[in-house]
Structure 1
């Protein structure tokens, strides 16, 4: 029976979600949270960009297809990607 379960997957398995930011930095007035999560035996690149605008905290979540063997590598690259997004789009990220 366990062979069939491994072959067809378990229906009660929940998708992986980030437990919280692994790294957080400030960049050009934005706060970047690196939030990689396990996927397929590796770490999926994911992050959150936040900025307070007119007294309201705006946020933009991003997930990329990139996967890494470790969470630290995924977090470092999430910071790089977030900086790139901020440099290219700035506050337009929140529109």
Structure 2
């Protein structure tokens, strides 16, 4: 993929990208930001990060649907709901 970000060995670019995504609503991501999110979701631990999407005011039904959904299906669900992307250092509760 041509627009897929290439992260440096030390994770500097990954950290910069993560701060751009942290706190964002999933539905507002541009195509480039979505590609960055996908790379971080898959490889974030290589850079000492944890990436997640929090659904605001979610229900048990939504959590059950997300738990059984593929990553692509999860993205479709996130676009329909109020969400907040969280990026934090692995092993830490705060960013």
Alignment TM-score, normalising by the size of structure 2:
0.27
For CA contacts below 8 A with separation 6 or more, give which structure has more relative contact order: 2
- Name the larger-Rg structure: 1
Would you tell me which structure has more helix in proportion to its own residues? 2
Would you tell me which structure has more strand in proportion to its own residues? 1
Alignment TM-score, normalising by the size of structure 1:
0.27
